[in-house]
């Protein structure tokens, strides 16, 4: 992979042949995916989802000591408004003096659309510098400047000479892709190009004696970059750090909630540790190519099996397998005993999960181990990383071929239809779709949360405890189920849930 030289990264439809519309079973999907014919499918009726810009902000708006400039008409980035007063709380968990979200919108008007938005972009960046003196100014580019052809990079290069904050352009126009996850590439692209590396350090380079240098290298040889994700809570981070420290490793956490300076020496690490390929493949591949830093990225440490796999992958890199096995044995023995009572209680219950491909497949395995039968999954999109995980899942979870697999971000009409047919005991969902399932009366376990833990061994126990608590009294959603109505016609529920997925292109590819 070598896209860093380019101004913008490619979209995931092209780079990973990612698919965003599919309906079938887990078995079907595994087979169809290998034929490589899924990516061309589309919907003839669709609901809104989210764009690269939203997700880019979701990923990195939490950066401390940074100001975001959103170069767009006034509405783009609107989701930030709901976090304006509350994000600070989460930033403070990482740094007491954190100030919370700050952003400037260039408020492009009709005049700007005709005469170009470049002057406004300048104004915004200079204002960010003048008012806040941040360490970094992250500039997010939306649809309109892309269509009117603003020379964003040119202006920002020029501005960089005038401001002391590091300017990071993030090209994330919404219309470019239907795979929102392209946002992760856009953000990492900007971060790698503009924050990583000594030449991006505002401090003079450190001079070390040979002894100091040797010591420094020794530290690096045991340092991992733990790539966190926006949906990860501080408690999740702490659990993973605890496990990595138990293996005597040093941990640097990037990119969500990080400080711009955290990136300067990010290449001084022995290993990149990802918990999600959807989030990090662009970053880790480039780091390997540019700095020769290998990575671990197979799975997310959710559930016992996946946490074990994750730890073993890391340990085998450092050649400390024995130490890891000891840790795993001790942790799992203790955990298994602790979750025994929940298993008795949850045995035979059924579940349906929706969200990112990596997260749902691993969470499904966790629930399976607690005694659940998994009736179906909805992935936001699907690509080669999902394929690998799905195959492992099919192996680890008996009789899972027949479970439903639907692909599409948002598209709650398909979800509503599916749920009316498969009626699980528990719905596990990503933010944005839970309200819809709640109105159908299902008890809901949120797939992630800023205040709760999900990852590692502690996560398993916490998930079990929360699921059991939620199932104990689903009255709120039951009431909603009997007294509210989703905005779909009765006739819709009689149809095939995948009626509006048009996969004629892939059918043609299969035949041809």
Partner 1 sequence: MSKVIERPRYVCALGGAIGTIQSLPRAIPILHSSSGCGGNLAGALSGASGYNGGNYCGGQALPSSNVSERDIVFGGEGRLQEQIENTLKVMDGDLYFVVTGCMVEMIGDNVHAVTKRFKGGDLPVLAAETVSFKGNSYYGYELVLETLFRDFVEKTTEKDAKTVNLWGVVPMQDVFWKGNLGVLKNLLKKLGIETNTFFGQGETLDNLKNAAKASLNIVVSDAYGIEAAKVFEEVHGVPYLTVQLPVGDHGTSRFLRTVGKTLGVDDIKIEKLIQEERKAYYPYLERLADVYNDLDFQRYATVVGDPNYTQALTRFLADDLGWLPELVVITDILAEEQKERVLATFGEYESGLRPEIVFDEDASSVGGYINRHWPQNQGQKYYKGFAPGVILGSVMERDTAEQFKVPLLSVTYPISNRVVLNRAYAGYTGGLTLAEDVLSLVVAHR
Among 101, 124, 143, 364, binds ligand SF4 (CB under 6 A): 143
CA nearest neighbour of 348 among 426, 436, 416, 249:
426
C-alpha 39: how far from its chain's center? 20
Q: Per CB under 8 A, does 50 bind partner 1?
A: yes
Among 91, 142, 308, 406, binds ligand SF4 (CB under 6 A): 142
Candidate ranges 83-91, 232-240, 346-354, 447-455; the one touching partner 1 (CB under 8 A): 83-91
Q: How far is the CB of 181 from partner 1 (least distance, A)?
A: 13
Residue 56 contact among ligand SF4, partner 1, none, beta carbon within 5 to 8 Å by kind: none
Q: How far is the CB of 378 from ligand SF4 (least distance, A)?
A: 22
Q: Per CB under 6 A, does 70 bind ligand SF4?
A: no
Q: Per CB under 6 A, does 59 bind ligand SF4?
A: no
Buried b (16+ CB within 10 A) or exposed e, 296-310: bbbbbbbbbbbbbbb
Site string for ligand SF4, 76-95 (x = CB under 6 A): x-------------------
Q: How far is the CB of 42 from ligand SF4 (least distance, A)?
A: 17
The total of other beta-carbon atoms located within 10 Å of residue 362's CB is 29
Asked if 364 contacts 377 with a C-beta cutoff of 8 angstroms, the reply is yes
Q: How far is the CB of 476 from ligand SF4 (least distance, A)?
A: 32
**Which 489-508 residues touch partner 1, going by CB under 8 A?**
489-492, 500
Residues binding partner 1: number (CB under 8 A): 75
Q: Exposed, middle or buried, 100 (CB in 10 Å: 0-12/13-18/19+)?
A: middle
65 or 112: whose CB is closer to ligand SF4? 112
52 or 272: whose CB is closer to ligand SF4? 52
Residue identified by tokens 């709760």 is 452
Asked if 405 contacts 22 with a C-beta cutoff of 8 angstroms, the reply is yes
State in Å, rounded, how far the first CA of the chain is from the last one.
Answer: 30
Inter-axis angle of helices 321-346 and 304-318, nearest 10: 180
**Residue 120: CA atoms inside 13 Å, Cβ hemisphere, count?**
24
Q: What is the three-class DSSP state of 432?
A: coil
Q: Per CB under 8 A, does 300 bind partner 1?
A: no
**Which 156-175 residues touch ligand SF4, going by CB under 6 A?**
173-175
d(CA 454, CA 437): 21
Q: Per CB under 8 A, does 433 bind partner 1?
A: yes
Q: How far is the CB of 183 from partner 1 (least distance, A)?
A: 10
Write out 179-215 in H/E/C secondary structure: CCCHHHHHHHHHHHHHCCCHHHCCCCCCCCCHHHHHH
Q: How far is the CB of 2 from partner 1 (least distance, A)?
A: 23
d(CA 302, CA 38): 27
Site string for ligand SF4, 29-58 (x = CB under 6 A): ----------------------x-x-----
What residue ranges bind ligand SF4 (CB under 6 A)? 51, 53, 72, 76, 142-143, 173-175
């Amino acid at each position: 992979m070598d896209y860093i030289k380019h101004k913008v990264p490619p979209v995931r439809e092209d780079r990973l042949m990612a698919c965003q519309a599919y309906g079938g079973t887990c078995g079907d999907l595994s087979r169809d995916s290998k034929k490589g014919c899924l990516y061309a499918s589309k919907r003839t009726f669709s609901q809104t989802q989210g764009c690269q810009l939203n997700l880019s902000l979701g990923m990195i708006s939490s950066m401390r000591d940074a100001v975001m400039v959103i170069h767009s008409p006034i509405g783009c980035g609107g989701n930030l408004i709901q976090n304006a007063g509350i994000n600070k709380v989460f930033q403070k968990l990482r740094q007491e003096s954190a100030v919370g979200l700050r952003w400037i919108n260039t408020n492009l008007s009709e005049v700007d659309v005709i005469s170009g938005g470049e002057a406004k972009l300048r104004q915004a960046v200079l204002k960010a510098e003048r008012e806040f003196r941040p360490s970094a100014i992250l500039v997010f580019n939306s649809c309109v400047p892309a269509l009117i052809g603003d020379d964003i990079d040119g202006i920002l290069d020029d501005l960089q000479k005038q401001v002391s904050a590091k300017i990071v352009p993030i090209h994330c126009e919404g219309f470019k892709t239907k795979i929102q996850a392209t946002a992760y590439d856009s953000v990492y692209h900007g971060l790698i190009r503009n924050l990583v590396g000594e030449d991006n350090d505002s401090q003079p380079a450190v001079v070390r004696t040979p002894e100091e240098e040797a010591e420094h290298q020794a530290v690096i040889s045991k340092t991992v970059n733990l790539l966190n994700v926006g949906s990860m809570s501080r408690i999740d981070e702490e659990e993973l750090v605890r496990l990595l420290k138990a293996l005597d490793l040093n941990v640097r956490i990037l990119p969500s909630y990080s400080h711009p300076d955290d990136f300067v020496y990010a290449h001084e690490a022995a290993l990149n540790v990802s918990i999600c390929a959807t989030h990090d493949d662009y970053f880790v591949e480039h780091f390997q190519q540019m700095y020769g830093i290998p990575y671990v990225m197979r799975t997310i440490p959710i559930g016992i099996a996946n946490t074990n796999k994750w730890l073993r992958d890391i340990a085998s890199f450092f050649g400390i397998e024995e130490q890891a096995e000891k840790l795993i044995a001790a942790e799992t023995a203790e955990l298994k005993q602790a979750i025994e009572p929940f298993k008795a209680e949850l045995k035979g219950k059924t579940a349906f999960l929706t969200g990112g491909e990596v997260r749902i497949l691993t969470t499904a395995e966790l629930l399976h181990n607690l005694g659940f039968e998994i009736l179906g999954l909805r992935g936001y999109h699907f690509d080669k990383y999902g394929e690998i995980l799905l195959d492992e899942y099919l192996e680890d979870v008996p009789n899972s071929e027949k479970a439903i697999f639907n692909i599409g971000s948002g598209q709650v009409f398909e979800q509503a239809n599916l749920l009316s047919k498969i009626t699980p005991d528990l719905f596990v969902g990503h933010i944005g779709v839970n309200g819809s399932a709640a109105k159908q009366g299902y008890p809901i376990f949120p797939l992630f949360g800023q205040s709760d833990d999900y990852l590692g061994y502690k996560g398993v126990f916490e998930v079990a405890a929360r699921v059991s608590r939620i199932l104990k009294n689903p009255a709120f959603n039951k009431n909603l189920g009997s007294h509210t109505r989703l905005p779909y016609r009765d006739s819709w529920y009689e149809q095939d849930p995948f009626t509006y997925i048009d996969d004629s292109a892939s059918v043609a590819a299969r035949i041809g």
